[in-house]
Structure formats: C-alpha cells, structure tokens
C-alpha cells in the first residue's frame, strides 16, 4: 500500500502542487521553511484526519484563503482509491473516491500512516498522555475491537466523572446505584483495554529491541511494560479498586485510577530510557519504536504502513545516520517519506524530491544524488 501521488490546494504554503510518489524511500530535500514538513503533514492528514503538529486544523489553510484541500491517490491490493480532505475554518469534509464518508473511522482504516517528528521525543519524558495515545493509535489499527473498548470505556468514564461532580454539589438517593452501573462498565471495558495493551507491549518489546540494536549498534535489551493505576487487567479487581477509591474520587471530582491514567515504562538494559539515554539516543530509541510499530502492523494485518520521518537525521553522527539510511531504504519498509536539509549521506537508491517555496521537483523513484 502506498500513495502514488498527493495533490495540495491552498495547504499551508502550497498554493497548488501535485507530487508523484513511489514505493520505497523518498527524500524530501530543501532548506528550512520551504514546505517539507508541510507536505508530510498533508500525507499524515490523509491517513489520520489530524495533524502531527497542531490540534487546530484551520492552521493548515493557506493564509488569506477560504479553505484547503489534500488529495491522495492510494494504491491498495484491491486497486486504486482517492482519499480527499477539504478544510475550512469551520468544517472538515472527507471523501473516498469523490463520495462523502459517513464515519471518520471508515476513512482512517483505509490506510495506516505512522509519523516521526521531533515532538515525538516527548514520548520518553513526562507526557504519559502521549504514551497512551501512541499505544491506543497502534492498537486501533490492528485490533478492530479495541476501538469499541476505548469508546465504551470513555463513555462510562465521562458519565462517572459527571456523577462525581454532581454528588459533590448535591447527593442523590440513587447515587450509589448509578455509580455501580458506571463502575461495572469501566471495569469490563477497562480490563479489555489493559489486556490488549499488555499483550501488544510484550510483543513490541522484542521487535523494538531488534530495531534499537540495528540503529544504535549496541547489544542492549529493551523492555516496554505497562504501569497501571490500581489493580491489573482483571475486571473484578478493577471493579474492586474503583469502588474502594470512591471516597477519594468524590473528594477530587474525577476518577483517579483506570486505563485513562495508566502509563508505560520503557527501559534499556533494565534502566529507564528517559534517565539513561543521550539526546541522540533518545531520537534513535523513538525511531526504533516507530519502526517496530510499523513492523507489528505488517505482521498482524498483512499490509505495510506508510512511514513519515521529519528531520529524521538531526543530532545523529555519520555512523548512526548510515545505519538509519540503510534501515529506511530496506525495501521491506514499503513507502517511506523522509525530510532532510542534506542531500549527501543518504543511500543512492533513494528517490529525491526537492521542495522549494511550496513547489516540488525531482524523481520519487530514481536517485538524482548520492553520498
């Protein structure tokens, strides 16, 4: 699965551009501020209906224009599809082969686009919400039932929190019965979420470890383990924990334990990654995670994700950059789009598209430069 071309209309700094693409590694080359990251952002939007840079989609619209469009010609095992996203300051319209799509999940499941950007380095630091989001997105695409579990758990959590806030103001006679209902729903769906996360992280550890050793040149052991608030992945124990913490939750006005507050610990040689890795090693570790996520997706679903890497070689020395370039150029990765300010130092076989002031030139499938 890969994009054969992407067309942008009034998107960021692109007035109008159509960029042909091909499977394999393609470098998007150019100086800073020319639109390389903007192009990756458009491809990511076509796969996820969101940006990896901002929560405000209106920021993707070119200055002083009423709306933006991104269109992608997607080659799939079943044939060719056209994915389209139309944005205005007030709305988002999604089309598949020119027809409106009823549910966002139907569109998102058409393909899998995984991105690395410098902001992903926060995955290793004090952003547990980002780590949960990383895990939830990965599982959503490989386990169809996981999305339902997240939705139902989220609905029960919102209802429980609303009840907790209401009870702080005015206790109700049937409050315990209502609380029991939401506790039971949270325990049921929460246990499913935790089981899925634990199983996935166990498998991801092995794959990420292989990728880390490949990129870093170190013979290290990588472990990814869940850190749960309250009891484990058993619904009865989670229910017991929710009931036990009712008084605490009531005093705070929100639910203090459950999958929505869980975290993950990522370690190298049994030492926390966030405490032992240098800045450059941080980057390699997150890259290993992204590559492992893609490999897991391929193993489980049989389809290769599209990989986007923004400013991927920054802060890497020549040896690590060579390892990374060889890894990204591996044909088993499928389609890989990577931005760089440097043309030299990359595999000769990589395609090269040059970005300048919102326009593109070059060949996505034939080398026009070298080491």
pLDDT digits (tens, 9 = 90+) for 258-289: 999 999 999 999 898 888 888 888 889 999 99
In this prediction, residues 31-50 reach a mean pLDDT of 96
Nearest to 11 by CA among 86, 96, 49, 68: 68
pLDDT of the residue at 331: 58
Phi, psi (deg, nearest 5) at residue 105? -65, -30
What is the distance between the alpha carbons of residues 15 and 31, in angstroms, rounded to a whole number? 19
Evaluate if pTM is beyond 0.85: yes
List the beta strands (DSSP E) in 270-313.
271-272, 306-309
In this prediction, residues 344-352 reach a mean pLDDT of 87
Nearest to 48 by CA among 308, 325, 341, 243: 308
What is the pLDDT confidence band of residue 245, given thresholds at 50, 70 and 90?
Answer: very high
**Residue 87: which H helix or E strand, with range?**
strand 79-88
Alpha-helical runs (H) found in the chain:
36-48, 104-108, 128-142, 144-169, 175-216, 235-244, 246-252, 273-276, 279-301, 318-329
Q: What is the 3-state secondary structure (H, E, C) of 120-150?
A: HHHHHCCCHHHHHHHHHHHHHHHCHHHHHHH
* Pair 139, 196: CB distance under 8 Å: yes
| Inter-CA distances, 204 with 209, 282, 336, 341, 361, Å | 8, 17, 20, 31, 38
**Cβ neighbours of residue 200 under 8 Å, at least 6 residues apart?**
135, 138, 139, 142, 296
Q: Is 41 helix (H, G, I), strand (E, B) or coil?
A: helix
Each residue of 9-26: pLDDT tens digit?
999 999 999 999 999 999
Which of 85-94, 131-140, 279-288 has the lowest average pLDDT?
Answer: 279-288
What is the distance between the alpha carbons of residues 34 and 46, in angstroms, rounded to a whole number? 21
What is the pLDDT confidence band of residue 172, given thresholds at 50, 70 and 90?
Answer: confident
What is the distance between the alpha carbons of residues 72 and 81, in angstroms, rounded to a whole number? 8
* Pair 104, 49: CB distance under 8 Å: yes
- Could you tell me the two tokens for 249? 């939750």
Q: CA torsion sign, 112 to 118 to 124 to 125?
A: negative
Nearest to 120 by CA among 286, 316, 272: 286
> Torsion-angle region of residue 358: left (phi > 0), alpha (psi -120 to 50) or beta?
left
DSSP 333: G
Distance of CA 290 to the CA centre of its chain: 9
Please state, rounded to an integer, the average pLDDT across all residues of the chain.
90
Query: What is the set of domains in the chain, with CATH numbers?
Result: 1-111+314-371 (3.40.50.300)
Which of 126-130, 322-326, 351-355 has the lowest average pLDDT?
Answer: 126-130
- Could you tell me the two tokens for 221? 């052991």
pLDDT of the residue at 370: 34
């Amino acid at each position: 699965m890969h994009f054969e071309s992407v067309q942008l209309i009034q998107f960021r700094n692109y007035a109008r551009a159509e960029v042909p693409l091909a499977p394999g590694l393609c470098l998007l080359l150019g100086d800073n501020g020319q639109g390389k990251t903007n192009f990756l952002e458009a491809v990511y939007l076509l796969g996820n209906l969101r940006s990896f840079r901002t929560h405000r989609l209106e920021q993707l619209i070119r200055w002083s224009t009423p709306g933006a469009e991104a269109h992608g010609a997607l080659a799939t095992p079943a044939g060719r599809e056209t994915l389209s996203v139309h944005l205005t300051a007030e709305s988002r319209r999604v089309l598949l082969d020119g027809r409106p799509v009823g549910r966002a999940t139907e569109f998102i499941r058409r393909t899998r686009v995984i991105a690395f950007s410098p902001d992903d380095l926060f995955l290793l630091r004090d952003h547990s919400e980002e780590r949960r989001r990383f895990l939830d997105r990965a599982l959503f695409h490989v386990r169809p039932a996981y999305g339902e579990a997240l939705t139902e758990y989220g609905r029960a959590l919102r209802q429980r929190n609303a009840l907790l806030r209401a009870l702080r103001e005015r206790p109700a006679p049937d409050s315990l019965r209502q609380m029991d209902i939401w506790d039971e729903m949270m325990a049921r769906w929460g246990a499913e979420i935790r089981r899925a996360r634990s199983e996935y992280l166990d498998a991801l550890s092995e794959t990420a470890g292989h990728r880390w050793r490949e990129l870093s040149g170190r013979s290290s052991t990588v472990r990814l383990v869940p850190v749960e608030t309250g009891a484990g992945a058993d619904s009865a124990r989670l229910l017991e924990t929710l009931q036990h913490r009712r008084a605490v939750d009531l005093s705070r006005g929100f639910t203090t334990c459950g999958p929505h507050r869980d975290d993950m610990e990522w370690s190298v040689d049994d030492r926390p990654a966030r405490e032992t890795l240098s800045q450059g090693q941080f980057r390699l570790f997150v890259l290993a995670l992204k590559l492992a996520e893609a490999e897991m997706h391929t193993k489980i679903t049989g389809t290769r994700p599209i990989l986007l890497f923004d400013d991927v070689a920054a802060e890497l020395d020549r040896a690590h950059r060579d390892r990374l370039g060889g890894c990204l150029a591996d044909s088993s990765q499928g389609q890989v789009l990577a931005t760089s300010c440097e043309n030299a130092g990359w595999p000769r076989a990589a395609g090269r598209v040059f970005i300048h002031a919102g326009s593109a030139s070059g060949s996505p499938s034939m080398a026009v430069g070298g080491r």
